[in-house]
Structures are given as structure tokens and as C-alpha cells.
Chain A
């Protein structure tokens, strides 16, 4: 949609809430699949429920041709970009009508035609890829900005430091969105980060590269939008990259339980409860659910009516139910297809 990203119109606000709810409903349906249709999802799936403020806040500043490069926790982004939910669910369900024809799965969704070139399942490495996408934009003078999303865990990986330094010295048009959901898999950020241990924010890492770094409440979608808009403008102006740390909480565990066939997998409780026994922490963050907060605000200030909100939500539920049914009924790929796409 060619909407001026700076214009926070009523339509834009409603669009934002719609995307946030669609992401949540999609992720809920993926999670439910483990209980309702065991065996349909293989390998490891990672959900972004709770990340909607960061995802939609950031992407609401995006021009139509700007690139989006997340990590393997990647379902929410193509939802926003307009990739059909059917194709996404079918991919996660291993089907040939999946966006990657069943070749990639949950961690490796891709829709390059919608400016989502792909992901990496190796923590931190996609940060380097996004940096390269920024190089393409700069060399070709396209004016594109690259939105690079990654988690707090990846910021201790060498690829993070090397990539941000490279982007800084070349002034690449990249917005590095650090999604700090407090946990790297099962490890709390306070156990592994020198900045956090010293009482600093993760965004302090930007100082290592002398680029702007800012921390924002990731549960406040409009706050995220404002901060990312500044970073995107800076990138677009040719002034180089920025680091935006959005702090929030994911509401699902890191991923489904890692089991070896024939042991069935399932989605465990969030690590705060499952590993650390800290129900209080989980409840406190749940109370700050970005979707609930934004809905309440929009209804309170009259942007949305209760009926309007319900309509959006019902439509999203119907959309994702349709996606699930489509995926369940989609055929598996032909085995012989496996030898395709190795080489261009």
C-alpha cells in the first residue's frame, strides 16, 4: 500500500491493529495445531505472539519496496506484507502449496516478490544477510531501506558486531530492530549480556559503532513506530544504520519441544514458568499485551468502535481458520520434486 509512512491517519491506525490481530491469530492457530493435529508440523517452529508491537510498529513506517529481513521467528512479517496466510500455513504444514513448496518450513519462509527474501535458522547470520541487502540498495541507488529484525540472543554472536560495523562504515540503509523479548531460547538475557549485567540497555551496543541506538517499549506499537520512523528516515537520507531495541515479551515458549521421532512434540509453557517457575513475571508481561493495549486505546479515543474491533477480529479468525483448513487439505509434495532448486 502506497501510504505515506509518516501519516498516522485513522485508516493507518486501523490497519496497524488489524495486522497485529492477524499475526496473533495466525500464531495461536500454529500453536493449537500441535495439540489439535499432532504430526502436521515437523521440526522446530517459533512464534512471535507478543512481538506484534515491534513488528507492526516497525513495518508501519515502511515504503512499499523496502526489504524485510527477520530471523527464523518469521511468521508475522509476511502476514503484514500481504503474503497469503494459506501459503504460509501450508508451508508450515509441509504442503506443496506452501510459499516455499514444502522445502523450507516454519523457519525458512520467503516471499521475495513481496520484499521478504528469506531467513536463516542460524542465530545472528541473517543480520549479515540484511546488511548485504543494504549494500544492494546502496549500490543500485534504489532508495530502499532494509528492516532487519533479530532477537536479543543474537547480539552476542560475532555476526551482529561485524555486520553493524560494516553497515556503519559504509552508511548502509539498514534499520536494525533488536527484538528484546528477554529470553534467548531458555536463557534469560540477564545471565548472558554484559550490558544488562551492568544495568545498561542492549541499545548501548550501538555506541560500539558510533551509530544511534535507542530503547523503546516494544509493547507500545505507536512508540515503536515513532522510533523506527526516525531510523528509517536516517537510513533513507543516506546517513546510515541505527539500532532500535524494542523491549517486550513473547507469550509462547522459544519453540515447540525438541523431540526425536517417534516421540510427539508439543508446545511447552513459556520458559519463565517451565524453566524458572516464575509465573508472576509471565503474568506481569501478559498484562502489557501490545494488542490489548492498542485495542483499548483505539476504542477509548474513538478510532475504533467495539463493533469495528470485533469485525476485524472475526475476519482475522475466519482468515486463519480458512488457512488452517486449506493447509490441512493441501497435498504433500511429490517426492521427486526434492531434487529441484539445488542450483539456479
Chain B
């Protein structure tokens, strides 16, 4: 019997349950667990739940060392941009240790960070940087679009013996949705068809899934049946589900909140070009943010980001495209 839960609550519940289940899981970050009233502190104590200074290199580096020696740290980083000051630890340390040691160590850690704020947080706090963390051998990358996926993926991330970057979209935090009760894991590398359709495949992540579903509703009224596929994890990336969807529909639109050439969409489009070329009846279309930083004022911000109208227009353009030579 699934329970209606807020996205943010689903994440907190996942952490709470996993910390209960496994005493090796520790949780720390800046500006958390400041007082005795904090629920994590109350349940698990000062040893396992800690507040850190503003020291991402040490926070993430210590997580690497702790994970190598037997703990399973979750580092609360709040915003993906804050990882940038410590990017060596994210890209060049955590994912490399097992391999360089010939498999002697493992690095089970979770870097939890929000992203994609579109509420006037401006150029340095609104970015979508997942493309920098895709395709790094040894690193896993998850980004849920629903409360159920939020809980299931975070549970999977904590149980995964590899370093995981877990990105949660800020515009989804207050969304409510059904979350299965009990032990619930969403496996990595399994994309989810969020809406079935026959005329076009829309691949989207995080907040863009929500926008794509709204666009699909709009398109349905105009007789266009759109299938919405949510990869859920960008590493590993479930190319098969995406290609199978394109095989069914013959058309592909990718929606990504990042700018074009730093989008996951560009990478996924490349995969389909190689593995699904012959299923395509029209060129692929990518709907992304414009090539700007994210501006502060609302009309400026809305202008540069993807929205339902842009998605609808993109779908219509590939649906009305002339047949590609088969």
C-alpha cells in the first residue's frame, strides 16, 4: 500500500531507514544537525551524524578515506556547484581508488546535492552540471524525478558499494507522490517509462520529466501520443530502454535543463545515433537551456530555460518532419 510522501520527505526517510539498517552509514555536512532537536542526531547520535565546516575538499576527501576503511558516508552538499571546489575528490579520487588498487578497496559513499533551482538563485546556484560527472568510470550518478524514485534511488545509492553522486532537483522538493512501503530499491541503470506513447519518445530527467509529462498531456489533446522516458540514472545509463522506445515511436526529442553542449541529452542523442539510427524517421531534436548562465530576473530566467511550450513545439517539429530515407 503506497504512502503519499513529499519528495524531500522521501529522501529523509531513505536516509533514516538505511542508517537504522546499517551502523556503518554516517551522515554529515554543513549546517545540519546543529541542535539536539535534529531527528538524525536524536536517532543516531553525534558519532554518526555531524556538522562540518565549509570544507568540501575535506568533507568529500574524508568521505573517500572513510569509505576506503569501512564506513559508508553520506555527504550533504546542498548544491552541486559546491562540489566544484572539491572536484578532484569527486572525479579523480573517489572513482579511481578501487581500480588503481587492482580491486583491493571499495569506496561506498554518497554525495547528495540539490540542483536546478529556477527561483532567482542566478548564475552560480542554478546550474545543471551532471554532464561533468557522466561517463567517469567508477562513478555512479542518479537523479530522480518523483518521490518514489527519490526514495528508491537514494536507498540504492546508500547500499551501492561505489561512489554515487545523488542529485535531487530543487523544484521537485515539495512534490507529493506515492511511495511504496517497506524495503524499496530502485536499481541503477534502469530507465522508467513514465508515460507510454506511440508517436514520439521524449527523454527527460528530473524537473524536465514533469514538464515533458505536462507537454505530453497537451500533445495528446492534439492527437500526438508521446512516450516519456526517464533514465533515472545517468551512470549507468540505460541506453536499451531508450533505443527500444525509439524503435517503437521512430522519433526522439530530448529535454535537458542544461545548455546544449553541456547536457546529458547530447550524450544520449549520440548513443541513439549509434545504436538506434535505423529506427529514426526524423532527426533527433534536443530542447535545452540557452547558452547563457541562468539570470536572476524572472522573465530573463524563464526565457533561457526549457518549458512546456518549447517541448510541444519540438515534438511537433519532429512529428511533421518528412520521412528520412529508410
Contact = CB atoms under 8 A, between A and B. Distances in A.
Interface stretch (B51-59, B124-132, B318-326): B51-59
Interface string A115-149: 00110101001011111111111111000000000
A111 B104 CA distance: 8
A342 B137 contact: yes
Given A125-B89, A342-B137, A110 B58 contact: no
Contact of A133 (B57, B65, B108, B162): B65
A132 B162 contact: no
Contacts of A223: none
Contacts of B140: 343
Interface stretch (B34-42, B93-101, B200-208, B270-278): B93-101
Given A101-B103, A132-B63, A117 B53 contact: no
A128 B58 CA distance: 5
A69 interface: yes
Contacts of A344: 98, 106-108, 161-162
A37 interface: no
Contact of A169 (B53, B67, B99, B104): B53
A130 B138 CA distance: 21
The size class of the interface chain B forms with chain A is 35 or more
Contact of A112 (B55, B89, B100, B101): B101
Contacts of A170: 50
A132 B103 contact: no
Interface in A143-196: 158-159, 162-163, 165-166, 169-170
A158 B57 CA distance: 8
A165 B58 contact: yes
A132 B67 contact: yes
B266 interface: no
A139 B71 contact: yes
Interface residues of A, number: 46
A100 B101 contact: yes
Contacts of A166: 52-53, 55, 58-59, 62
A215 to B, nearest CB: 24
A309 interface: no
A108 B93 CA distance: 11
Contacts of B137: 342
Contacts, number: 152
A46 to B, nearest CB: 15
Given A110-B101, A117-B68, A135 B62 contact: yes
Contacts of B138: 342-343
A169 B28 CA distance: 14
Given A128-B89, A158-B57, A162-B58, A341 B99 contact: yes
Contacts of B62: 128-129, 131-132, 135, 163, 166
Interface in B192-238: none
B64 A136 contact: no
Interface in A192-248: none
B102 A132 contact: no
A255 interface: no
B89 to A, nearest CB: 7
Given A130-B65, A342-B137, A159 B102 contact: no
A104 B58 contact: no
Given A117-B68, A138-B47, A342 B101 contact: no
Interface of A: 67, 69, 98-104, 108, 110-113, 117-118, 120, 122, 125, 127-140, 158-159, 162-163, 165-166, 169-170, 340-344
Given A132-B65, A159-B61, 16 more contacts: A98-B102, A104-B101, A108-B101, A111-B104, A118-B100, A120-B93, A127-B61, A132-B69, A136-B70, A137-B69, A139-B48, A162-B57, A163-B61, A341-B99, A341-B102, A344-B161
The 6 A-B pairs of least Cβ separation, nearest first, read A128-B61, A132-B65, A129-B65, A132-B62, A101-B102, A162-B58
10 contacts: A128-B61, A132-B62, A132-B68, A133-B65, A134-B65, A135-B62, A139-B66, A166-B53, A169-B53, A342-B98
